[in-house]
Structure 1
């Protein structure tokens, strides 16, 4: 139930993000979710796309510094406290979250949160045992 995430290191200068999106568009790769963390000099663009291996190769071939990592996609109710319930499970089991980002509108009456955790296999096991819906990569890529 792991999802492949593409991370792109970008210099913080005009046109770099446009270049990434242009490459993906030319390769017919659809962005499902994204997040940007930046400093004054550089940024890290994190992407969930419908074809992660193809995106990785295309960006690498165009000279971008790119990596692929495993993340978890958790479906939860889009209502007050929905995220708090998942966070409580993670806290109870000492699952350290490195970062997360979310998107809504693609899951009926729900939200989807992407988590990067230290121990992904342990997190998957615990979340599933607690009845929390974890989506497969294939499901997320097709949203």
Structure 2
């Protein structure tokens, strides 16, 4: 159940994040989650949006370097240890998490976490067997 994530190479200068998010907004694209990792000169902006193909096209048309990646989304209880239990399942199976970021859900007491792993199929099988809820793209916007 992969989720499509948009990654954008962003120059680290004033206004770039505002420019990119304005462009996405003008195209009627809803951003549900984001993460930004930066260095001195550039950053990688990762977005979960309601229409990844439209977002990718719009961003590329504006001259940005963009890629689409399949990531996994998991639903966890919004309580101490909720994330830890899910990640422990992956660690015990020898699956490394390259990065993760979380966001709130409309459901009280729950959170969603986006994770990037080397092999989505292996991680999906391990998480499913452990009873960890995997979410789909459309659930994020329900």
In which range does the TM-score fall when normalised by the shorter chain? over 0.9
**Correspondence 1:22-101 to 2 at 5 A:** 22-101=22-101
Residue 107 of structure 1 and its aligned partner are, at CA, apart by 3.2
Pairwise CA distance, 1:130: 1.1
RMSD of equivalent CA atoms: 0.9
Distance in 1 of aligned mates of 2:37 and 2:88: 25
Indicate the residue corresponding to 1:113 in structure 2: 113
Alpha-carbon offset, residue 50 of structure 1: 0.7
- After superposition, what is the alpha-carbon deviation per residue over 1:10-61, rounded to whole angstroms, capped at 9, x for unaligned? 0101111111111101100000000000000000000000110100000000
Which consecutive aligned stretches of 4+ in structure 1 deviate over 3 angstroms post-superposition? none
Counterpart secondary structure, 1:64: coil
- TM score, norm. by length of structure 1: 0.96
Using the size of structure 2 for normalisation, the TM-score is: 0.97
In 2, Cα distance between equivalents of 1:4 and 1:106 = 20
How far 1:87 moved relative to its partner?
1.3
What secondary structure is seen at the aligned counterpart in 2 of 1:44?
Answer: strand
Give the C-alpha shift of residue 135 in structure 1: 0.5
* Post-superposition offset of 1:109: 1.4
Deviation per CA, 1:73-128: give whole Å up to 9, x if none: 00000000101110110111011110000012433310110000011111011111
CA distance in 2, matches of 1:104, 1:22: 22
2:133 corresponds in structure 1 to 133
Structure 2 equivalent of residue 19 of structure 1:
19
Between 68-77 and 106-115, the greater mean CA deviation after superposition: 106-115
CA separation in 1, counterparts of 2:105 and 2:115? 18
Q: Distance in 1 between matches of 2:42 and 2:103?
A: 24
CA–CA separation in structure 2 for the residues paired with 1:66 and 1:32: 18
